[in-house]
Amino acid sequence: MLELLIDIGIYSNFFSSGAILFTKPFEFYYSYAPLIILLAIFSVKFPFYTPNLYLLIPLLIFGVFNVAIGNNSINNFLKIFLNITINLIFYQYVMHYYNYNVKLMMKKYLTAVFLISCLGLFQYFSHLIGFAPGVNFKIWLTLDKWNHSIGGFGLRINSLHAEPSYLGTIHAPAAFICLYKIIKPNLDFIDIKRALVILICYVLSSSSLAFLGLFLAIILISLNFGAIKYFLATVPIVIFIAIYTYNNSKDFKLRIDGLNKTFIEGLLDDDNGKTMSQAAKREKAIRLIKSIHGSSFVLYNNYYVAIKNLENNYLFGSGLGSHEFAYAKYNLTSKLGGVYKFNAADANSTFLRTLSEVGLVGVLFLIYFMFKFYISKPRLGDVLNQDYWIISNALFIVIFLQYLRQGNYTLGGFFFFCWMYYYNYKNMLFDEEKLEEAEKNNKQLEPSAI
C-alpha cells in the first residue's frame, strides 16, 4: 500500500496541470504537496547527487549577476531557480528510489497514461451523448487552469490536463511505445488493448503536438528497421497523414497556416518604417487577427522577443525568470491591438526561453543533452538492448516537443523524463561493458588450438 501511495505521489505531478492551490507569489499545483513530502523523505534516505551542482551553480551565479545589473528581479529569479533545483534533485532521488530501473519506471508511467486516457475517452463519449459533467470536469473537481475545448473531431480531449497540448506532450512517449506495440506485438511494455486506448485518446486530443509526435514516431520507427527503403517507404505515408490531418482538422490547419504566415511569409515584419495613422493601424490589427491563429502568433511573438533579448545577452542570457522583462520590452502584441498577451513568462517554448534566459550556452547544453544520450539503434542486438532503443526514442520525442512548445521548465514531470533519458543511456553502457567483459573471459577459458 505504501509503495502505491509513493507511486501516486511521484506520477500525479504529470497529469495535474489544471489544479492549482494558489497563484501568488507563484503557481502552487496540488501535486507539489506530495512532491515536497517525498523530497523531504528521500533527502534523508538517499545521498545527494553532487553533479547536480555543475548545473545549479552556474545558473545561480549568472542569475544573481543579471539581477545585480537590472536585467531581472530577485523574486522572478528565485522563483524559477528554486523550482528547477527542487525538480532536479527530487527526480534524481526518484531514480535512486526505483534503483535506476528505467524500464520499470516507464511501465508505471504507461499505466498512469492508460488511466488518464480512459478518463479522456469517457470525456469524449460524454460529449457525444451530451453528458455535461463528463465533459466539463470543473463541475465536480477544483480545476483552476483547466478548460475543455470544442474542436478537432468534436471535442479535443484533454482529460485531467489543463489543455490538449499538455496531453500531446506528456503522453508522447506512451504514444511512441503503443505505436511500436502495434507493429511489434511481442513488445512487453504494454498489452495491445491498453496501447489502442492510449493511441485513440492521443489522436482525439487533436493537438498539433500530438500529431507532430506521431509523425516523429513513424519516422524513428522506420529508421530503426535498418534499411533506407523502409524510411523512403514511410515518407509518403507521413506526407499523406499530414495532408489528411491538415485538410480534416480545422485547428491543425489554422495553426500551420499561422506559422507559415508569420515565420515564412513575414506577415508581422515591420512596414519599412512607414508612418501609419491610428485608423490604419487598427485596420491592420483586425486583418492580422483574422489571418493568424492565436497560438501561432504567441510562438512567433516569443521567438521575436527571444532573438531581440539574445542580441544584448548572447552568451549567458539575462537570467532565469527574466523572459518576462524581455517580453515587456520587445513584444509585438501592439500589432494585433494588444490581444494574445500570452506566455510572457515562459516564452511558449523551452528552447526559446532558454535562448532568452540562459543564452547560447544554455541552448548548446540543450542540444548536447538531447543528442549525447540518444540511442540511435540497438548496438548489441539482444532483446534487452532493443528495450534501451525503444525507451530512448520515446523520451527523445517528449524532449523535442518540450523544447519546441512548452515553456515551463518543469511542467508535467519533464525532469523525470530527462533523468530517465540519461540513465537509460548509462544503463546501456554498463550492460555493454559487462557483455564485453564476459566475452573476454570466455575467450580466455577456451582451449588453445593444437
Give residue 402's pLDDT. 95
Q: What pairs with residue 434 in β-bridges?
A: none
Q: Count CA atoms within 13 Å of residue 32 on its CB side.
A: 18
Share of the chain above pLDDT 90, in %: 49
* Nearest Cα residue to 378 out of 435, 437, 439, 440: 435
**CA-to-CA distance for 180 and 79, rounded, in angstroms?**
40
Give residue 276's pLDDT. 52
Using the predicted structure, report yes or no on whether residue 265 has a pLDDT greater than 70.
no
Mean per-residue pLDDT, 372-380: 79
Helices (H) and strands (E) in the chain, counts: 18, 4
**CA-to-CA distance for 155 and 146, rounded, in angstroms?**
14
* pLDDT tens per residue across span 432-449: 888 777 777 776 666 554
Give residue 254's pLDDT. 73
**CA-to-CA distance for 348 and 300, rounded, in angstroms?**
9
Sign of the alpha-carbon dihedral angle for 286, 291, 295, 297: negative
**CA-to-CA distance for 125 and 146, rounded, in angstroms?**
19
Burial of residue 450 (number of CB atoms within 10 Å: 0-12, 13-18, 19+): exposed
**CA-to-CA distance for 339 and 147, rounded, in angstroms?**
20
**CA-to-CA distance for 113 and 166, rounded, in angstroms?**
12
Total Cβ atoms within 10 A of residue 255? 22
Instruction: For helices 74-97 and 414-445, give the axis angle rounded to 10 degrees.
Output: 40
Please tell me which of 88-97, 145-154, 326-335 the model is most confident about, judged by mean pLDDT: 88-97
What is residue 156's three-state secondary structure? strand
b/e string for 304-337 if b means 16 or more Cβ within 10 A?
bbbeebbeebeebbbbbbbbbbbbeebbbbebbe
Band (378; pLDDT cuts 50, 70, 90): low
For the ranges 113-117, 398-402, 434-438, which has the lowest average pLDDT? 434-438
Give residue 274's pLDDT. 53
Using the predicted structure, report yes or no on whether residue 94 has a pLDDT greater than 80.
yes
More confident: 151 or 104: 104
Give residue 449's pLDDT. 42
Mean pLDDT of the chain: 84
Give residue 50's pLDDT. 94
**CA-to-CA distance for 158 and 231, rounded, in angstroms?**
32
Give residue 332's pLDDT. 80
For the ranges 97-101, 258-262, 284-288, 329-333, which has the lowest average pLDDT? 284-288
**CA-to-CA distance for 259 and 291, rounded, in angstroms?**
11
Using the predicted structure, report yes or no on whether residue 98 has a pLDDT greater than 80.
yes
Burial of residue 60 (number of CB atoms within 10 Å: 0-12, 13-18, 19+): middle
Using the predicted structure, report yes or no on whether residue 450 has a pLDDT greater than 50.
no
Which residues neighbour 269 within 8 Å (Cβ) at sequence distance 6 or greater? none
* CB-based contact 105:7 (threshold 8 Å): no
User: 284-288: long-range contacts (C-beta < 8 A, 24 or more apart)?
Assistant: 284/335, 285/335, 285/336, 285/337, 286/337, 288/335, 288/336
Share of the chain above pLDDT 70, in %: 83
DSSP letter (8 states) at residue 139: G
For the ranges 85-99, 138-152, 411-425, which has the lowest average pLDDT? 138-152
**CA-to-CA distance for 309 and 60, rounded, in angstroms?**
20
Give residue 224's pLDDT. 75
Give residue 266's pLDDT. 64
**CA-to-CA distance for 384 and 431, rounded, in angstroms?**
9
* pLDDT tens per residue across span 213-255: 998 998 888 877 665 666 666 667 767 777 777 777 666 777 7
Band (41; pLDDT cuts 50, 70, 90): very high
- 436: its cell numbers: 564485453
Residue 21 has φ and ψ, to the nearest 5°, of: -80, -45
* pLDDT tens per residue across span 158-214: 898 988 999 999 999 999 999 999 988 888 899 999 999 999 999 999 888 998 999
For the ranges 29-33, 57-61, 198-202, 394-398, which has the lowest average pLDDT? 29-33
Band (299; pLDDT cuts 50, 70, 90): confident
Give residue 401's pLDDT. 96
**CA-to-CA distance for 359 and 363, rounded, in angstroms?**
7
pTM for this one? Answer: 0.88
Using the predicted structure, report yes or no on whether residue 272 has a pLDDT greater than 70.
no
Give residue 367's pLDDT. 96
More confident: 437 or 290: 437
Mean per-residue pLDDT, 378-400: 82
More confident: 294 or 51: 51
